[in-house]
């Protein structure tokens, strides 16, 4: 146990009681977002995820210009070269520079992931918001439709659509969002059902605010925490779906490179030219890992119940 | 309960009807017909082929016929492999996928539970961090990458297991593990968080106060309740394993339904795509329904009502 400390009375002196001081707030008051950011900063793993994502984004922007090759120029004299000072990640079976292609693929994969998440967000907010705000019959109809669509096996639907539609970037995004928004709609609906009974909504309504104003100015901003977490976790699943589709030969068409198509190309060459699979594979995994750990950290930071 | 079950079954049928109709009309929306890519065929033969497959009927007749034949469980002929019907393909290859899927399911559940329990028991210790690191990697690394990595490491470099093909039990190991990584990771995370919640409950304190050993408390008392949410996850888990077989079977050259499905996509063999999609949907929806019903039976605290969730 701790040492015995002698505490004599002389060590203490009375402080004059100041009634005004007692009411003073000494610490700066934090908004919800400042508080969440503070908690997020303490989560080292999540911050590593965030930093990696930042680096990946920067490299996706500048990477394709860094070593003077293009993602589509072929050079048959230089095919299947291992990584070297000239071609940092080696070359593929048509002599295209893998480093440039990997970062070009990062653009495509991140673009698909983020736009899928954004479209899900917009449809989900409108659908779920309307269902929850109006309740009753509207809710019943909207959510029944969502329930039925939710019952459709996601990847099968996406594959069917990809088979039928013309292949391309836009098609992939459409195919993924056509049933992808339902999760978001459910989250938004759940949040707004909880929020809409609160007094500030009543206050807004009695001040004459319309449905759209209440929904977008009052309810959605307060439901933003779970919405953002869902979005962060949608991105890796969209990136995975794109890679999966490309791997089945249903993704973006050459010469556009995505990580999925590159992994698919590299698969056949695994035994002799493993780097052709290795680089796209490692970057898909790192990206998904970063989004996942960042999303987990964000969820812990934004959920007040996780406060210790 | 009866009302709930009836309602759920009705929903399954509506969804299936939607899937069958959607697949039919999507396939019809594609320009050209299944014989467009054939070599020059005399017009008469083309016509008689179209007649034979009923492609000259008006659309609604074709749709009606298709619905009826699906009801009778006759999914039609394959356009690419003339001697085979879609039913033949499914009957022949589904058992293979089923074996693989079941092994993956078994691995996912057993390893996932073990990881989750270890993580919860050693909360915030290195065992916890290691288990959760494995889980987050399992979630983040796509299964086709894991599969090729396994293939490269265990089969090509270490020569421990066969690279590909199907036959003996040794062939199952690598694909089953690759397939089970994602669901295993999910189960581990679910089990961990549920165990952490359950371990704080009063009845665990009671069990401790009675002097029961840690082992008995964990496995007879805590794990039982922690398992409940894991059961609800079994539906999506089955879906994940099922779709996972598309790529895994392709990588390992396994003659299952998944690889047939992918081949039919690449061949644009529309009847096979349609039939397999319908078949997969039936399997999935039935599984999810069974899991939901089982959940109500296993956990008596849940009162299923007719009003949905």
Give me the helix-helix angle, A136-151 and B2-29, nearest 10°: 60
Q: What is the DSSP string of B175-237?
A: HHHHHHHHHHHHHHHHHHHHHHHHHTSHHHHHHHHTT--HHHIIIIIIHHHHHHHHHHHHHHH
Task: Identify the closest residue of chain A to B14 by CA–CA distance.
Answer: A148
- Measured CA to CA, the distance from residue A223 to residue A225 in angstroms comes to 6
pLDDT tens digit sequence for B145-174:
888 888 877 777 777 677 767 777 777 778
Dihedral-angle region of residue B60 (phi above 0 means left; psi in -120 to 50 means alpha; beta otherwise): alpha
Phi then psi for residue B152, to 5 deg, are: -65, -45
Instruction: Indicate if ipTM > 0.95.
Output: no
Check CB contact under 8 Å for B247 and A155.
Answer: no
| Cross-strand partners of B85 | B77
Determine the number of helices (DSSP H) and then strands (DSSP E) in chain B: 12, 0
Tell if the CB–CB gap between B142 and A271 is shorter than 8 Å. Answer: no
| A281/B148 CB distance under 8 A | yes
d(CA B108, CA B130): 17
**Which range scores top for mean pLDDT: A36-45, A255-264, B69-78, B110-119?**
B110-119
**Gap from A138 CA to chain B (nearest CA, Å):** 16
CA–CA gap between residue A210 and residue A215 (Å, rounded)? 8
Residue A18, judged by CB atoms within 10 A of its CB (0-12, 13-18, 19+), counts as exposed
- CB–CB contact B15 A161 (8 Å): no
The DSSP H or E segment spanning A102 is: helix A98-134
From chain B, which residues contact A within 8 Å (Cβ)? 11-12, 14-15, 18-19, 22-23, 26-27, 29-30, 136-137, 139-142, 144-145, 148-149, 151-152, 156, 239, 242-243, 246-247, 250-251, 262, 265-266, 268, 273, 277, 280-281, 284-285, 288, 308
Render pLDDT for A73-94 as a digit per residue (tens, 0 to 9).
666 676 766 777 676 677 776 7
Interface touch A267/B251, C-beta < 8 Å:
yes
- Give the tens place of pLDDT for each residue, A29-78: 777 778 778 888 888 888 888 898 888 888 888 877 777 677 676 666 76
Residue contact A289–B142, C-beta within 8 A: no
Which pLDDT tens digit goes with each residue over B6-50?
888 888 888 888 888 888 888 777 766 666 655 667 777 777 777
CA neighbor of A182 nearest in space, from A224, A240, A242, A126: A126
């Amino acid at each position: 146990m701790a040492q015995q400390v002698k505490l004599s009375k002389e060590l203490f002196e009375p402080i004059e009681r100041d009634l005004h001081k007692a009411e003073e707030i000494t610490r700066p008051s934090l908004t919800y977002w400042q508080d969440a950011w503070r908690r997020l900063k303490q989560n080292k793993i999540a911050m590593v995820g965030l930093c990696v994502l930042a680096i990946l984004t920067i490299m996706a922007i500048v990477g394709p210009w860094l070593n003077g090759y293009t993602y589509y120029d072929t050079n048959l004299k230089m095919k299947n070269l291992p990584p070297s000072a000239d071609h940092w990640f080696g070359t593929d079976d048509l002599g295209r520079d893998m480093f440039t292609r990997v970062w070009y693929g990062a653009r495509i994969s991140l673009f698909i992931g983020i736009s899928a998440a954004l479209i899900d967000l917009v449809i989900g907010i409108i659908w779920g918001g309307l269902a929850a705000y109006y309740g009753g019959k509207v809710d019943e109809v909207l959510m029944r439709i969502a329930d039925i669509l939710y019952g459709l096996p996601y990847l099968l639907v996406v594959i069917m659509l990809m088979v039928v539609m013309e292949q391309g970037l836009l098609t992939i995004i459409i195919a993924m969002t056509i049933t992808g928004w339902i999760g978001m709609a459910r989250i938004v609906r759940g949040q707004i059902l909880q929020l809409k009974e609160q007094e500030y909504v009543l206050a807004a309504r009695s001040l004459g605010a319309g449905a759209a104003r209440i929904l977008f100015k009052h309810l959605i901003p307060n439901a933003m925490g779970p919405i953002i977490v869902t979005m962060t976790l949608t991105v890796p699943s969209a990136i995975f779906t794109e890679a999966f589709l490309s791997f089945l030969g249903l993704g973006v068409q050459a010469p556009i490179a995505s990580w999925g198509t590159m992994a698919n190309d590299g698969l056949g060459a695994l035994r002799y030219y493993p780097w052709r699979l290795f680089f796209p594979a490692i970057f898909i995994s790192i990206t998904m890992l970063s989004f996942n750990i960042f999303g987990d950290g964000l969820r812990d930071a934004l959920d007040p119940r996780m406060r210790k | 309960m009866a009302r709930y079950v009836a309602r759920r079954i009705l929903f399954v049928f509506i969804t299936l009807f939607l899937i069958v109709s959607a697949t039919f009309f999507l396939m019809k929306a594609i320009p050209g017909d299944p014989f467009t890519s054939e070599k020059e065929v005399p017009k008469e033969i083309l016509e008689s082929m179209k007649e034979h497959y009923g492609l000259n009927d008006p659309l609604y007749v074709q749709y009606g016929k298709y619905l009826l034949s699906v009801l009778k469980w006759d999914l039609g002929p394959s356009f690419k492999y003339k001697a085979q019907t879609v039913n033949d393909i499914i009957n022949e290859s589904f058992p293979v996928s089923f074996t693989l899927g079941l092994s993956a399911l078994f691995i996912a559940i057993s390893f996932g539970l073990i990881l989750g329990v270890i993580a919860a028991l050693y909360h915030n210790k290195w065992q916890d961090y290691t288990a959760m690191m494995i889980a987050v990697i399992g979630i983040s690394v796509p299964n086709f990458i894991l599969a090729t990595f396994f293939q490269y490491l265990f089969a090509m470099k270490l020569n421990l297991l066969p690279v590909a093909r199907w036959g003996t039990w040794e062939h199952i190991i690598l694909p089953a593990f690759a397939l089970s990584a994602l669901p295993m990771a999910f189960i581990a995370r679910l089990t961990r968080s549920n165990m952490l919640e359950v371990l704080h409950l009063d009845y665990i304190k009671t069990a401790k106060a009675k002097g029961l050993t840690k082992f008995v408390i964990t496995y007879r008392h805590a794990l039982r309740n922690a398992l409940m949410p894991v059961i609800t996850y079994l539906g999506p888990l089955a879906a994940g394993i099922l779709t996972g077989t598309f790529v895994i079977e392709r990588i390992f050259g396994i003659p299952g339904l998944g690889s047939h499905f992918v081949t039919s996509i690449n061949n644009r063999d529309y009847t096979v795509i349609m039939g397999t999609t319908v078949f997969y949907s039936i399997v999935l929806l039935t599984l999810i329904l069974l899991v939901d019903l089982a959940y109500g039976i296993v956990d008596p605290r849940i009162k299923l009502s007719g009003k949905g969730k």
